Amino acid sequence: MRRFTMLLTLLGLCAGCASVRSPEDAVARVGPQALTRDVVATQQSVIDASLKSGTPMKGDALIEEEHWAPSIRKMNPEYVHSDGMNIAIVLNTSPREESGVYVAHPFTSSGFNAHQDDEVNVWTGALIANGIYSFTRKGTHKAIDSYEE
């Protein structure tokens, strides 16, 4: 009986850990170079679709799954959105907060900067690898709000 109780306790602890995914583990799983390469490919796919449809790109928009490159898919994100030419790969969400991996486009961005978009959106982050950051965005998010509708 004691072993059974210990097993249930361990399973419960593991289940609780799986609910929040670590950006560092996600990047390690796919590799930082592959991720950076795939962010460029994902953004190019979005640009190509935008040019083909004649619909202008938005600086802060959801990126449809059909555009995700392989390493982004391997992370199994809840969703992905752009931040200018950079990409936020959202691994965890809660009401009015998202967190995950932020990848700065290697050719067009100076990197991630903690900042406040407006009176309610606050970005914070930490460097994982060159041009790759863990991030948390607190506040009301346009992409989240439109995604939930």
Residues 70-111: pLDDT tens digits? 999 999 999 999 887 889 999 998 888 889 999 988 877 666
Q: What is the structure's pLDDT at 12?
A: 44
Q: Tell me, what amino acid is at 106?
A: P
Helix pair angle (23-30, 32-53), 10° resolution: 90
Total number of domains constituting the chain: 1
Residue 133 maps to a domain: yes
pLDDT digits (tens, 9 = 90+) for 1-33: 555 444 444 444 444 444 689 999 999 999 999
92 assigned to some structural domain? yes
What's phi and psi for 87, nearest 5 deg? -130, 135
Q: Which of 67, 66, 141, 59 is nearest to 100 (CA)?
A: 141
Question: DSSP alpha helices (H): ranges in 54-119?
Answer: 70-74
| H helix and E strand count, the chain | 5, 6
DSSP string, 30-63: H-HHHHHHHHHHHHHHHHHHHHHHTPPP-SS-B-
Residue 5 lies in a domain: no
**What is the residue range of 72's domain?**
21-148
Task: Flag whether 69 is in a domain.
Answer: yes
| Residue 2 included in any domain | no
Name which of 13, 15, 16, 21 is nearest 98 in CA terms: 21
